[in-house]
Amino acid sequence: MSSNTAPSSSAGAGSADSAATRRSKRPKYSRFTQQELPACKPILTPKWVISAFMLVAIVFIPIGVATLFASRDVVEIVDRYETECIPLSSRNDKVKYIQTPGNKTCSRTLTVKKHMKKPIYVYYQLDNFYQNHRRYVKSRSDKQLKDPNSANTVADCKPEDKTNGASIVPCGLIAWSLFNDTYTFSRNQSEPLPVNKKGISWKSDREHKFGKKVFPTNFQNSTLKGGATLNPLIPLSEQEDLIVWMRTAALPTFRKLYGKIEVDLQQNDVIHVTLDNNYNTYSFSGKKKLVLSTTSWLGGRNDFLGIAYLTVGGLCFFLAMAFTIVYLVKPRQLGDPSYLSWNRNPGGH
């Protein structure tokens, strides 16, 4: 900063006093401000691309195989019964049949095709039932379910909030439309198969969302009856069917746990199901299915995940191969300087 500083002729009157106070405005050096932090700079080199694809393939194909095996391990019996359980004479107007009071017992026979290990989970599956409709989902009172003193917190439950001026517990559309088909199983004509309905709900629901001292009151007392009734002497935290039902499903096709059969079922066992076909899915043409299923480490039977893994793994393998071939057949120096020439388009526009 010495020899040729100020370009004008100024010898700077009054520069002496400012020199002392003036500090250099030179920016301080730090790797951060100079944007020179140590960094890794990934580049899509052939090697990287191929190994990335290969890696995915190598990881995905075994997972796919394993999940597919797990899924195939599961034995599942599905019985669709919503039409068969209606007497032939009433099949023209199913809605009327289901809405008419009376005994609607129906019996179904299932054959076990493969050995089923306990526990065997019993599900009912509904189709075209919009448990995820916003009006439906919001129509409940969590406070009321938990707290015996909040029985009157029913603002969200309309129109199933009150009956004759008294609050309904549990209120709301979800509880009101509780599924009420029942199943009784017996094996080979004679041997009854008990269904364990304990522990079919989430523990946290039982313990923290449904009160031990909250009892159903005024439930299903209104003129328009929905689904199942509840025993007013059992606290909500033990009404597991209700708890399961109140966990709304994500999609209009869903299964819900009905109970567990805690014995093994042998191949060719014939299971008789006596069911009470009470629930109205007919007005919205929904299907009803009864499902018996074992589980694997992955859960139930669904090949989708395994197939997806295999497909993606295969695709990646194919891409890896394709890239390898391309690089082998036509290796090109990517550092081709002709790409950098600014003369490529004269005039520069």
Partner 1 sequence: MPRGRRRTIHFSKLYSFSCIRSSFEDVHAKIGDRGYSRVVYCNDPDNSEALQLRYRGNYVSTTKYTAANFIPKSLFEQFRRVANIYFLVVAFVSFSPLAPFKAVSVLIPLLVVIGATMVKEAIEDWRRRKQDVEANNRKVKVYGRNHTFIGTRWKKLRVGDLVKVHKDEYFPADLLLLSSSYEDGICYVETMNLDGETNLKLKHALEATSPLQDENSLERFRAVIKCEDPNENLYSFVGTLFYNGREYPLSLQQMLLRDSKLKNTEYVYGVVVFTGHDTKVMENATDPPSKRSKIERKMDKIIYILFSTLFVIAFVGSVFFGIDTKKDYSGGKMRRWYLRPDDSAVYYDPKRAEIAAILHFLTALMLYGYLIPISLYVSIEMVKVLQSIFINRDQDMYYEETDRPAHARTSNLNEELGQIDMILSDKTGTLTCNSMEFIKCSIAGTAYGHGKTEVEMALANRRNGVAETGHISSDVVEHSTGEADSSRKSIKGFNFRDERIMNGHWVNEPHSDTIQKFLRVLAICHTAIPVVDKESGEISYEAESPDEAAFVIAARELGFEFFERTQTSISLHELDYETGEKVDREYELLQVLEFSSSRKRMSVIVKSPENKLLLLCKGADSAIFERLAKDGRQFEDQTKEHIHKYAEAGLRTLVVAHRELGLEEYKAWEQKFLKAKASLTEGRDALMDELADKIERELILLGVTAVEDKLQKGVPECINKLAQAGIKIWVLTGDKMETAVNIGYACSLLRQDMKRIVISLDSPDIIALEKQGKKDAIQKACLASIRKQIEEGFSQINEAKKGSSSTKAFGLIIDGKSLEYSLKKDLEKSFFELAINCASVICCRSTPKQKALVTRLVKNETGKTTLAVGDGANDVGMLQEADIGVGISGVEGMQAVMASDFAIAQFRFLERLLLVHGHWCYRRISMMICYFFYKNITFGFTLFWFEAHNSFSGLPAYNDWYMSFYNVFFTSLPVIALGVFDQDVSARLCLKYPSLYLEGVENILFSWTRILGWMFNGLLSSIIIFFFTTNSMIPQPFQKDGQVADYEVLGVTMYTCVVWAVNCQMAISINYFTWIQHLFIWGSVAFWYIFLVIYGSVSPSISTTAYKVLVEECAPSPLYWLVTLLVVVCTLLPYFSYRAFQTRFKPMRHDVIQQKRLLSCNNDQIDASGELPVRVRGKLRHLRHRLRERES
Site membership for partner 1, residue 280 (CB under 8 A): yes
Among 20, 189, 223, 349, binds partner 1 (CB under 8 A): 349
Relative orientation angle of helices 304-329 and 46-73, to the nearest 10 degrees: 160
Burial zone of 248 (CB within 10 Å; 0-12 exposed, 13-18 middle, 19+ buried):
middle
Contacts of 141 (CB under 8 A, 6+ apart): 150, 153, 154, 155, 156, 157, 170, 171, 172
Contact pick of 103, 204, 223, 329 for partner 1 (by CB under 8 A): 204
263 contacts partner 1 (rule: CB under 8 A): no
Residue 218 interacting with partner 1 (CB under 8 A): no
* 325 near partner 1, rule: CB under 8 A: no
Handedness of CA 31, 32, 35, 37 (dihedral sign): positive
Say how far apart CA 276 and CA 147 lie, in whole Å. Answer: 33
Assess 302 for contact with partner 1 (CB under 8 A). yes
Rounded Cα distance, 205 and 211, in Å: 9
- Per CB under 8 A, the list member of 109, 231, 299, 325 interacting with partner 1 is 299
Size of site (CB under 8 A) for partner 1: 121
Count of CB atoms situated within 10 Å of the CB of 244 = 19
Q: Which of residues 55-114 bind partner 1 (CB under 8 A)?
A: 56, 60, 63, 67, 74, 76, 95
Interface characters, 225-244, with partner 1 (x: CB under 8 A): -x------------------
Query: Which range of residues in 49-57, 110-118, 233-241, 267-275 is near partner 1 by CB under 8 A?
Result: 49-57
Binding mask 137-166 for partner 1 (x = CB under 8 A): x----xx--x-----------xxx------
Tell me if 255 sits within 8 A of 291, measured CB to CB: yes
**Shortest Å, Cβ 269 to partner 1:** 20
Q: Report the distance separating Cα 232 and Cα 190, nearest Å.
A: 33
Residue 136 is a binding residue for partner 1 (CB under 8 A): yes
